[in-house]
Amino acid sequence: MNLTLAIMQCLNGLQLGILLFLMAAGLTLVFGIANFVNLAHGSLYMMGAFVGALVYNLTSSFMLAALAVVPAMMVVGIALEAGIFRRLYARSHLDQVLATFGLILFFNELARTLWGPSPYYMEVPPSLSGAIDVFGINYPAYRLLIVAAGISIALGCYVVIHRTRLGMLIRAGATHRDIVAALGVNMGLLNALLFGVAAALAGVAGLLAGPILSVQSGMGEPVLILTMVVIVIGGIGSIRGAFYAALIVGVVDTLGRTLLPVALRELLERSAADSAGPALASMLIYILMAAVLAWRPQGLFPVKH
């Protein structure tokens, strides 16, 4: 593989990592603070993509689509917390898994009912359809927007988590929930806010992924699996861990799918290498997760107590 292709794939991995971070950031806080297993988080990503695509196709404005997705998904997240999740906090994780799995089925059928079974397409905005020179490579401007938007959101999360009173409560709640509640903090309100923010971040990830993926029912489940891997590798409850782990997973997954088939062609026949390479590449991130669990069960960047 030449240098140009390697740089291109690294940028693609970075872009994938940014999308995974947007998914993992909210979900890891929900895990860490509310101690809630939300399998429906991928469905919020899907609904964000559908809402964004709908608004964009009606208005031809990507900015209006973004402005619509954020409050709409916050409302959905808060409504789910108040109407369903709050009743499951005291239940076992198995009950939470079963309930949120039911929500996956509900949202998938809702998407099919509202938008049909066929993919619902969203075009790349014309102003971002070109390419920008990066290290001598013409790289799609829209994919660079995803990277820039994700990094900006990551910096915003860092400022909120580490430089504000709300962030102090979030960090304290992630490690000493009972003590924070005993000090008079309204944990119910904090949980509702967390679910709202998590849903908004997932919706933004769906919006950004819409123009480069098919917006369709069921699109949230594959990305949810990758998000879970990111959270395990980074450390539950850690925004910093979610960011670094998302980048690691994105780059490893993208480079693995490119490099492994090429490397195997040196050892096997081309047909065998082409069939075995993608299969092995898809296993890389899970092998990485298993290695991290064996070495550091708390994750690479756990929350500091």
Instruction: Please report which confidence band the pLDDT of residue 110 belongs to, taking 50, 70 and 90 as the band edges.
Output: very high
Q: What is the pLDDT of residue 277?
A: 72
Return the sign of the alpha-carbon dihedral for residues 148, 150, 152, 155: negative
- Which tokens in the block code for residue 186? 């309204």
Residue that the structure tokens 């660079």 belong to: 144
Q: What is the pLDDT of residue 130?
A: 83
Q: Which fold has domain 9-118+138-295?
A: ABC transporter involved in vitamin B12 uptake, BtuC (1.10.3470)
With a pLDDT cut of 70, the percent of the chain lying above it is 98
Residue 107 has pLDDT above 90, yes or no: yes
Query: Measured between alpha carbons, how far is 46 from 227 in angstroms, rounded to an integer?
Result: 14
- On average, the pLDDT of the chain sits at 87
Bridge partners (DSSP) of residue 132 are 139
Query: Measured between alpha carbons, how far is 288 from 297 in angstroms, rounded to an integer?
Result: 12
pLDDT greater at residue 215 or residue 188: 215
Domain boundaries, the chain: 9-118+138-295
Core vs surface per residue 202-234: b (16+ CB within 10 A) or e? bbbbbbbbbbebebbbebbeebbebbbbbbbbb
Please tell me whether residue 89 adopts helix, strand or coil conformation.
coil
Task: Give the tens place of pLDDT for each residue, 172-193.
Answer: 776 677 777 777 777 778 888 8
**pTM for the complete prediction?**
0.91
DSSP 215: B
Mean pLDDT confidence for 40-51:
94
Phi, psi (deg, nearest 5) at residue 30: -60, -45
Please tell me whether residue 120 adopts helix, strand or coil conformation.
strand
Residue 140 CB contacts under 8 Å (≥ 6 apart), including other chains: 124, 130, 131, 132
Q: 294: exposed, middle or buried (C-beta count within 10 Å: 0-12, 13-18, 19+)?
A: exposed
Q: What is the pLDDT of residue 175?
A: 66
Can you spell out the DSSP letters for 126-194? GGGSSEEEETTEEEEHHHHHHHHHHHHHHHHHHHHHHHSHHHHHHHHHHH-HHHHHHTT--HHHHHHHH
Q: What is the pLDDT of residue 174?
A: 65
pLDDT greater at residue 18 or residue 301: 18
